Amino acid sequence: MRFDLIFGMEGSTTSRAGGRRVATRALALALAFVPGFAAPAGWAQSEAASASTQTAAPPPDGNDPSSPPGDDIADTQSMIPHFKSTRFWLSGQANFIFQTHPPFHADYSGPHSLSPDYEKATSRVLTLYTGVRLNNSTELLVDIEEAGGDALSLGLGLAGNTDLDIVRNPLLSKAPYLGRGMIHKVFALSRDKVENQRSFLSLFDELPRRRLEIRFGKFSLPDFFDLNSVGTDTHFQFMNWSVDNNGAWDYAADTRGYTVGVVADFEDRNWGFRFAEALMPKVANGIDLVWRPWQVHAENWEYELRHGVLPKKAGVVRLLAYTNYANMGIYRVANQQFLDHSSPTPETVPEITNHPWHITRKYGFGINLEQNLARYLTAYARWGWDNGKTESFAYTEIDSTFNQGVGVNGALWHRKQDRAGVALVTNGIKKDHQVYLADGGLGFLLGDGGLRYGREDIVESYYTAHVWRGIYLAPGVQHINNPGYNQVRGPVVVPSFRAHVEF
């Protein structure tokens, strides 16, 4: 179960009641718009659901959409009314996600496998968001967080893990920690203004249409890069790592998903360009960052064109590129050491960490498309690729990915607070990475002790129902073929449930 408790400083709206039968028909409509979608065996009888915050048009904040959403599409509600205009921000959330899976077939299992036995797990993330607008162009944003609970098989065995809220190191302290802490400065490059939707990442009511935004401090790169209105928000939308983010984007982050750096974002009427320089962790999936940016660092670039591919329909095209420089091992070297019996465990498995301190480079690219299909129906697609020579280091073990999905707003069936969606993703790794796992090597997420390679294919669906005021309930289901890229394991079905309450 996922339980999101949010104390927000925004206005609220009301929703109208609707029928469950109409909602089911709308979800079936969403399924029909996914190219090549076919329900996997055993999934047709499952109650598919999850959540989405998309509206009819997918513009970023502070810019005009080509076709604005209708008045019958509502913002998220809260339990109590809030001030619409204030220079302070206070919000909080408590997120609990319950997931389980029944037993599934596996010829064998290794140290980093998804367990083939019945499992259940509940994760939690508690966050307090605060902020203050110092003047009309500067604000300070600080978030305090606490994360804990459990993950299925300790978060191991899947490249596209089913729960984006899990902590990838169960030994981390459960004490509260600083999640985000940043200075946000806006430089006006035009006199005209556009309305801005206030959030914990920006407290301004309006912004210059043409502007340069600078953020410095601690943050998560997916706060600003690779976003779309259908497959980004784990609180209301999909929960799989490789659905909500580009799986081949090994973005700079510690174990909890945060880094330290600077983001520069130039915005104009119909396009934007952003750049980030950030710190990398000391080791793969490590909690400690390397504070030597002249040696260990990451660069991220994204160009955003707010123009649809369909005539007279809103849409966005985002092009992503990144480079990482860190103490990363090289799969081919580790494989050769194993063959030469020069690895630390010469008679057993290769070891990717068997190297002196050295700086290697990983780079990759991504495309993120978002397109309105109808008034309440939005589709998206992601493609990602990285060179795959160095070890997967910060996010997950994916070198290539393709992801497509649709989201439907409940206004279609007269429940404008409801959301529904379905997505399909296929993930892969490069040949050297395959050989490393086949020889028994361990990554920070994968390691079955062997590998009969096949792409990891995942289907996820959700429905988020607005119950009353700020209360939302969302069952969901994921179906995974070849978990951990292994054809002799799975498939596995992972149902889930989350509740979301806003104050």
pLDDT tens for 31-82 read 333 333 333 333 322 222 222 223 333 344 434 443 434 445 567 777 666 6
Mean pLDDT of 279-300: 95
Which of 152-166, 281-295, 338-352 shows the lowest mean pLDDT across its residues? 338-352
For 102-245, strand residue ranges (E) read: 119-133, 138-149, 177-188, 193-195, 206-208, 211-219
What is the pLDDT, as a whole number, of residue 73?
58
Average pLDDT across the chain, whole number: 84
Cβ atoms of residues 11 and 82 within 8 Å:
yes
What is the pLDDT, as a whole number, of residue 6?
36
Mean pLDDT of 116-145: 93
Query: Dihedral of CA 53/59/63/69: which sign?
Result: negative
> Is residue 7 scored above 50 in pLDDT?
no
What is the pLDDT, as a whole number, of residue 82?
60
Among residues of the chain, what percentage have pLDDT more than 90?
A: 64
Q: Residue 137: count other Cβ atoms within 10 Å of its Cβ.
A: 16
Domain boundaries of the chain, sorted by first residue: 3-502
CB hemisphere CA count around 197 (13 angstroms): 8
Which of 153 and 347 is assigned the larger pLDDT?
Answer: 153
- pTM assigned to the model: 0.84
Please report, for residues 261, 355, 445, the alpha-carbon distance to residue 170 in angstroms, rounded to integers and kept in the order given. Answer: 26, 26, 13
pLDDT tens for 103-117 read 999 999 999 999 999
Cβ atoms of residues 421 and 405 within 8 Å:
yes
> Is residue 29 scored above 60 in pLDDT?
no
3-state secondary structure of 433: helix
Mean pLDDT of 113-130: 92
> Is residue 363 scored above 80 in pLDDT?
yes
Q: Position of tokens 């990285």?
A: 386
Cβ atoms of residues 141 and 201 within 8 Å:
yes
> Is residue 9 scored above 70 in pLDDT?
no
What tokens were used for 58?
């997918």
Q: Is the peptide bond before 491 cis (omega within 30 degrees of 0)?
A: yes
Residue-by-residue DSSP string for 256-306: TS-EEEEEEEEE-SSEEEEEEEE--BSSTT-SSBP--TTTSEEEEEEEEE-
pLDDT tens for 212-269 read 999 999 999 999 999 999 998 888 899 999 999 999 999 999 999 999 999 999 999 9
Pick the CATH number of 3-502 from 2.40.160.10, 3.30.70.1050, 2.60.40.420, 2.60.40.10: 2.40.160.10
